[in-house]
């Protein structure tokens, strides 16, 4: 049986609540929302108020050459930026901005996205309609694909090991981290990136989700006043939909002995990964969260731990009526009486739902929780739902001695992923 272990040695993030791990973590602990009115395109044609979790003050040329920034989709911009921070945090970025300190052939990645380069695709479709086929960019096709971020990250930093892009809608980030862990444990690589990225803030995406009646209302449920920051209110009795968001998070995973040999300091350890399919509906979650239950149980079995060893769950917590109800049921089914002792929070209350990036952002959160002893809150929790009775860490961060944290992710198509991180102790 393999004794190889995958520890987290570096973190990088680009998010609606901050660019960089320190800024994002401070904002999450302070309960600051990154959700606001969309101003990047004309929303007058919509029959609902358009809000989003947008990344602010981001300049891709701070992280890549101008010509590359111009040719690539915003999702790839985020991927390159977050990876650079994560490599620097791991002590694996040389003075020349390239990978250093490890064998590039034994360094790989699983870098997922839910939608891929939708912005680049839509821009070139408009060019086709207005200016004809000869004006469509020759860079569109290779740069709009779901594997474009992972390809460009490899080129930018000189990473030559196993490289793949997973696509499983909103479960993508969890799948990416879990599969990166497995690649290390089975000996395929010594270092891996587990990452998710998304940049879906375009009219077509909002139109589609709006037609599904899936989006949260940016109104104070008590006063009726316009309040974008209140649009995402997971587990609250007034919740009525999610908020579209963008962003990227990157975890650098490394085989423990390999990390020790080069003097790296582990932040946490990824010990469990579970995956399942609802086989139920393309949009609605399975009743009683049965698919989520199977993913959590598989992650616990893979980690070799009992349910009562988990101290915190970063919930999928989208703020939709069905998801929050069935995820709560799933947690109670899996954890039994221990569910009442769990802290469960949804950071989507602050970031919105970044889809393919969500599970990676929340993996970042779990790594910080077990390494700092701080739990970020579920903000906007003002009206308890009598059917949902877990401890949702309402409105204020909490200090807690959490040794083991679990992150849930669920996606359209019935995809589920759960990952488990443990505090690293030498």
1 lies in some domain: no
Active site residue 353: yes
312-314 and 404-411 strand pairing: parallel
**CATH code of the domain containing 109:** 3.40.47.10
296 lies in some domain: yes
155 lies in some domain: yes
319 lies in some domain: yes
Q: Can you give the pLDDT at residue 79?
A: 98
- For residues 334 and 168, give the distance between their C-alpha atoms in angstroms, rounded to a whole number: 23
Closest CA to 182 of 71, 299, 30: 299
Q: Are 418 and 274 in contact (CB under 8 A)?
A: yes
Q: Can you give the pLDDT at residue 426?
A: 80
Closest CA to 268 of 375, 364, 176: 364
Number of domains in the chain: 1
270 lies in some domain: yes
Q: What is the pLDDT of residues 277-324, one digit of tens each?
A: 999 999 999 999 999 999 999 999 999 999 999 999 999 999 999 999
2 lies in some domain: no
Judged against a pLDDT cut of 80, whether residue 340 lies above it is answered with yes
Active site residue 338: no
Q: Are 383 and 238 in contact (CB under 8 A)?
A: yes
Q: Which residues contact 39 (CB under 8 A, 6 or more apart)?
A: none
Choice among 72, 170, 258, 366 that is catalytic: 170
Within 13 Å of residue 81, how many CA atoms lie on the same side as its CB?
26
Judged against a pLDDT cut of 70, whether residue 1 lies above it is answered with no
Judged against a pLDDT cut of 70, whether residue 354 lies above it is answered with yes
In this prediction, residue 398 has a pLDDT band, given cuts at 50, 70 and 90, of: very high
Q: Can you give the pLDDT at residue 2?
A: 59
Q: Which domain holds residue 201?
A: 7-423
Q: Which residues contact 205 (CB under 8 A, 6 or more apart)?
A: 115, 118, 244
Judged against a pLDDT cut of 90, whether residue 119 lies above it is answered with yes
Judged against a pLDDT cut of 70, whether residue 379 lies above it is answered with yes
Q: Are 77 and 13 in contact (CB under 8 A)?
A: no
Active site residue 366: no
For the chain, what percent of residues have pLDDT higher than 70? Answer: 100
Choice among 248, 316, 366, 415 that is catalytic: 316
Judged against a pLDDT cut of 90, whether residue 355 lies above it is answered with yes
Q: Can you give the pLDDT at residue 402?
A: 98
90 lies in some domain: yes
């Amino acid at each position: 049986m393999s004794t190889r272990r995958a520890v987290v040695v570096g973190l990088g993030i680009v998010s609606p609540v901050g660019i960089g791990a320190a800024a994002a973590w401070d904002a999450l602990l302070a309960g600051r929302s990154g959700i606001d009115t969309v101003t990047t395109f004309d929303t007058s044609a919509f029959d609902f108020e358009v809000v989003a979790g947008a990344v602010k003050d981001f300049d891709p040329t701070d992280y890549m050459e101008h010509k590359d920034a111009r040719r690539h989709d915003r999702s790839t911009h985020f991927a390159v930026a977050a990876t650079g921070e994560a490599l620097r945090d791991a002590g694996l970025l040389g003075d020349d901005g390239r990978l250093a300190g490890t064998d590039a052939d034994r360094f790989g990645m699983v870098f997922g996205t839910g939608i891929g380069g939708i912005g680049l695709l839509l821009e070139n479709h408009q060019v086709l309609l207005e200016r004809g086929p000869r004006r469509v960019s020759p860079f569109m096709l290779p740069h709009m694909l779901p594997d474009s971020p992972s390809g460009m990250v490899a080129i930018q930093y000189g990473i030559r090991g196993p490289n793949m892009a997973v696509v499983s809608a909103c479960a993508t980030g969890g799948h990416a981290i879990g599969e990166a862990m497995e690649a290390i444990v089975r000996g395929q690589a010594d270092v891996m990136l587990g990452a998710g990225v998304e940049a879906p803030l375009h009219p077509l995406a909002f139109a589609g989700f709006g037609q599904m009646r899936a989006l949260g209302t940016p109104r104070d449920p008590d006063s009726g006043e316009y309040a974008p920051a209140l649009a995402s209110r997971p587990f609250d009795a007034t919740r009525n939909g999610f908020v579209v968001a963008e962003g990227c998070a990157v975890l650098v995973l490394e085989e423990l002995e390999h990390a020790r040999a080069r003097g790296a300091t582990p932040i946490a350890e990824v010990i469990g990964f579970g995956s399942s399919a609802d086989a139920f509906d393309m949009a609605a979650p399975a009743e009683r969260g049965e698919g989520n239950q199977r993913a959590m149980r598989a992650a616990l079995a893979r980690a070799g731990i009992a349910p009562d060893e988990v101290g915190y769950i970063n919930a999928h917590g989208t703020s939709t009526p069905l998801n929050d109800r069935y995820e709560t049921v799933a947690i109670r089914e899996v954890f039994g009486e221990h569910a009442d002792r769990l802290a469960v929070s949804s950071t989507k209350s602050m970031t919105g739902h970044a889809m393919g990036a969500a599970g990676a952002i929340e993996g970042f959160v779990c790594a910080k929780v077990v390494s700092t002893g701080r739990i970020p809150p579920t903000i906007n929790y003002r009206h308890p739902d009598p059917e949902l009775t877990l401890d949702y860490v309402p409105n204020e961060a909490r200090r807690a001695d959490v040794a083991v944290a679990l992150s849930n992710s669920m996606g359209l198509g019935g995809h589920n992923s759960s990952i488990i991180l443990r505090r690293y102790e030498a």
